[in-house]
Amino acid sequence: MACIEKMLHTFGKDLGGGFDIGCHIETTLKNSALSPLATALGYKSLVDAFHGHAHNRLCQLSHLATYTKGLGIEDLGVCERAFSRSNGLGGATRHMSVFHRMQAIVRYFKDTDHLETYQNLSKPLPAPASRCLS
């Protein structure tokens, strides 16, 4: 609830938050002191695409990112994928000092951001087909 409150105060109207159990988060939010603010600002609790398909149909229609106008093809699983990929650091950093462990984690995410993210933002244009003019 503290994260949702911070997001509402920071970003304002028409905000949505994606959680593995977004439908349960919404119930908790409606029963909290934060409910009037969330309702007034149009906050929507969502379920990410991966976990959403395990929920019942009514939950999917109400909370699944796939059926939320304005999200496009966003599946709300970016953080989950990033941390899943970083699990490989565990073995390499297990016996490092706290300083060197943090240094390795920061370097991993900076390299991932620079080497993967920026390159995947666009795709090269295909080479034009050659034509024979005879």
pTM of the complete model: 0.59
7 lies in the same domain as 46? yes
6 lies in the same domain as 32? yes
Using the 3D structure, point to which of 48, 67, 86 is the last residue of a domain.
67
Find the mean pLDDT for residues 107-117.
78
Q: Is residue 130 part of a domain?
A: no
Q: Are 29 and 2 in contact (CB under 8 A)?
A: no
Q: Is residue 51 part of a domain?
A: yes
pLDDT in tens, 63-109: 777 777 777 777 777 777 788 888 888 888 999 999 999 999 999 98
31 lies in the same domain as 56? yes
Whole-Å CA distances, 1 to 8, 27, 33, 66: 10, 11, 10, 24
